Structure 1
Amino acid sequence: MAVVYGTISAILLFWHGAWQMLFGDAAALGTDWAWVLGIVFLVLTVRGVLFPVFVKQIKSQRAMQALQPRIKEIQEKHKNDRETMQKELLELYRTEKANPLMGFLPMLVQIPVFLGLFHVLRHLKPTMPEHMKTLYGWTVTQFDSASSATLFGAPIAASFRSGAQELSLLGTDGTTVRIVAAILIVTMIATTYLSSRQMILRTGWAENPQQRMVQRLMLYGIPFSLLVSGLIFPIGVIIYWVTTNLFSLAQQTWVLRKYPPPATGAPKATAAPTRAAASPAHATPSPARSLAPRPGAKPTTARKGAPRG
């Protein structure tokens, strides 16, 4: 994990240095914007690198959606022979270039980034010995600057559950930290729910009960779990989470327009006859109706050559 921590630190320090050239060390609205924007652009860097993977994920999901009828057919055909079923499914995925695991790849790649940032920000404590401050490529000056950086007066290294002693060392009070952290936690939960909901709408609700249960867990379980875990997240980590959720919402909106879900269902074969039946003026009369005399009509004469009674 040291490589991950070092990589995350390098990206964060790069963007902090870039924004510091513009803003210097000045703070506005109780916020050290060079550090806050450094975290925001850390997200944009990671998501930008993962964007080609994300496009492949969408294409793979679309391929999987198109293959659902054939997948069900194979599963039904070999429901008593799992080995043959798996072989035929793998062959189908290979020939159609669909990967059912592709949907999890972007999320799996982001987990080490999130854990790395969580560790680095938890590491930012003013009482840290000097030899520990220079871990992961930091200088003492950078470490001291980050450990005192704030968002609207709340240190980015503090969390909702930070104790009085830790807050005193960070030079702040619990009220400010809890207000800022609470607003960010609510925003994090809301954007996580919206992002999960948009993803489900993008792929559609699964017909399989187990898969649908997983979707419901993502939609409701993960946001609810953040209500608890968000209390221990440093404010800087919540900034990261909210930013990546907003990026996901924008990215998925673009995807829905660029790669719309495949149309499901075909027009009903009975639609045309139904419209014809609804318009008697255009209906073709049946032989029985065409031969039946109309009320008040003169009887027709017998055809030439017909026998007379």
Structure 2
Amino acid sequence: MFNLDWIYYAISWILLTWHSAWDAIGVPAEAVIGTNFSWILAIVFLVVTVRVILFPVFVKQIKSQRAMQALQPKVKELQEKHKGDRETLQKEMMELYRKEKANPLMGCLPMFLQIPVFLGLFHVLKRLNPFKEEDKKTLYGWAVDQFNSASHAKLFTAPIAGKFGSTADELTNLGANGTTVKVIAGILVLVMMGTTYLTSRQMILKTGWAEDPQQRMVQRLMLYGIPLSLLVSGSIFPIGVIIYWVTNNLFTLGQQQWVLRKYPPLVTTPAKGAGVGRGPVQPAKSGGLFGRKAAQAPAKQAPSAPKVAAPKPGAKPVNPKKGRPAKRQG
């Protein structure tokens, strides 16, 4: 088993540093409308700290997705060429990715890097219990008064260490009302599912569905599978962890919007003579976030025949043959 204490120490240090900062600037430690805002803000700014650290990785993710999208015509050619030969197809595609320096797994890297942070926060908040032994309260750099303060921290009277599936003993130790905890946790789980879906949908709408079946399967898993799995797994997450997840999703929505404006999605143009399929992939022009093409100028019309003036009313009809010189006789 890996020793994850370094993660617990790092998460605790960031959390306690932000809590001390909010205390220093006058955020009340006591509950206001049933909420201890200094601890809630500490969790929110834990997200901000992690996302700022991971921002360069996020930009690399976007660039990698652009590279993968640009390779779709070549991937489609390989699929047609090696249809029925899956082993050769995989080798050719891996060689193509290596040659073009594209990484299909890069799209999931930011999410994977945040998993240790999520697990660390989950472990730290799960420990919060005012009845723990004094020596266990000081683990991972916590002071006793900090531990006790966090153990009593609430969101709308629901402890941040409570969860939808808390047992009666856990609720008693936290001094919490079971119905209140279930209502607050249930609402947060639904918000967590919705924002998780929106983050994936936002990216897919801008970059399009992948041509590669494996990548498309990953996209579908992220769009539908992960949000649905949270309906079950969310019941074991402490409320503080769900606050972290929702904040992280909202941060992702804003960050993706900014990055997609800075690095516009690629647009595809139909190949000549092809009813179905795509031609070369080109960068989106400055015409909006979706890379809309500029309207084409209307085709020039052929010059019309010169108009002939109509005869005036009451004028005698003109015989076009009259006035022509007579033909000479043989």
The offset of 1:227, in angstroms, is 1.3
Q: Identify, as 1 or 2, the structure richer in helix.
A: 1
Structure 1 CA distance for aligned equivalents of residues 75 and 214 of structure 2: 16
The offset of 1:82, in angstroms, is 6.2
Aligned counterpart, 1:306: none
Aligned residue type for 2:117: V
Structure 2 CA distance for aligned equivalents of residues 133 and 47 of structure 1: 28
Give the gaps of 5 or more residues in structure 2. 275-295, 306-318, 322-330
Aligned counterpart, 2:69: 65
Structure 1 residue corresponding to 2:24, chosen from 21, 31, 37 = 21
Give the SS at the match of 1:124: coil
* 1:171-212 deviation line (CA, Å, top 9, x unaligned): 221122122112211111111111121122133112344543
Aligned counterpart, 2:15: 12
Aligned residue type for 2:127: H
The offset of 1:7, in angstroms, is 1.0
Structure 1 residue corresponding to 2:250, chosen from 246, 251, 259 = 246
* 1:254-279 deviation line (CA, Å, top 9, x unaligned): 12211121111148679x9x957xx5
Q: Greater CA deviation, 197-206 or 84-93?
A: 84-93
Q: TM-score, normalised by structure 2?
A: 0.77
Structure 2 CA distance for aligned equivalents of residues 267 and 85 of structure 1: 24
The offset of 1:21, in angstroms, is 1.1
Aligned residue type for 2:134: E
Structure 2 residue corresponding to 1:98, chosen from 90, 98, 102 = 102
Aligned counterpart, 1:121: 125
Q: Greater CA deviation, 219-228 or 151-160?
A: 219-228
Query: In 1, are the aligned partners of 2:76 and 2:211 still within 8 Å (CA)?
Result: no
Aligned residue type for 2:225: G
Q: Greater CA deviation, 170-179 or 9-18?
A: 170-179
Structure 2 residue corresponding to 1:2, chosen from 5, 8, 24 = 5
The offset of 1:40, in angstroms, is 0.4
Q: Greater CA deviation, 84-93 or 260-269?
A: 84-93
Aligned counterpart, 2:237: 233
Aligned pairs (5 A) from 1:54-203: 54-78=58-82, 85=89, 88-203=92-207
Structure 2 CA distance for aligned equivalents of residues 267 and 80 of structure 1: 26
Aligned residue type for 2:255: Q
* 1:111-161 deviation line (CA, Å, top 9, x unaligned): 111111111111111222112111111111111111111111111000112
Structure 2 CA distance for aligned equivalents of residues 209 and 263 of structure 1: 20
The offset of 1:49, in angstroms, is 0.5
Structure 2 CA distance for aligned equivalents of residues 42 and 91 of structure 1: 40
* C-alpha distance 69-221 of structure 1, shift in aligned 2 (>3 A): same
* C-alpha distance 175-84 of structure 1, shift in aligned 2 (>3 A): closer
The offset of 1:74, in angstroms, is 3.4
Query: In 1, are the aligned partners of 2:151 and 2:161 still within 8 Å (CA)?
Result: yes
Give the SS at the match of 2:115: helix
Structure 2 CA distance for aligned equivalents of residues 264 and 30 of structure 1: 53
Query: In 1, are the aligned partners of 2:161 and 2:239 still within 8 Å (CA)?
Result: yes
Aligned residue type for 1:54: F
The offset of 1:91, in angstroms, is 4.3
Give the gaps of 5 or more residues in structure 1. 284-295, 299-309
Aligned residue type for 1:189: M
Structure 1 CA distance for aligned equivalents of residues 209 and 28 of structure 2: 49
Query: In 1, are the aligned partners of 2:67 and 2:102 still within 8 Å (CA)?
Result: yes
Structure 2 CA distance for aligned equivalents of residues 141 and 172 of structure 1: 20
Quick one: percent identity of the two aligned structures?
66
Question: Are 1:44 and 2:34 matched, yes or no?
Answer: no
The offset of 1:88, in angstroms, is 4.6
Structure 2 CA distance for aligned equivalents of residues 220 and 178 of structure 1: 24
Structure 2 CA distance for aligned equivalents of residues 275 and 297 of structure 1: 38
* C-alpha distance 116-35 of structure 1, shift in aligned 2 (>3 A): same
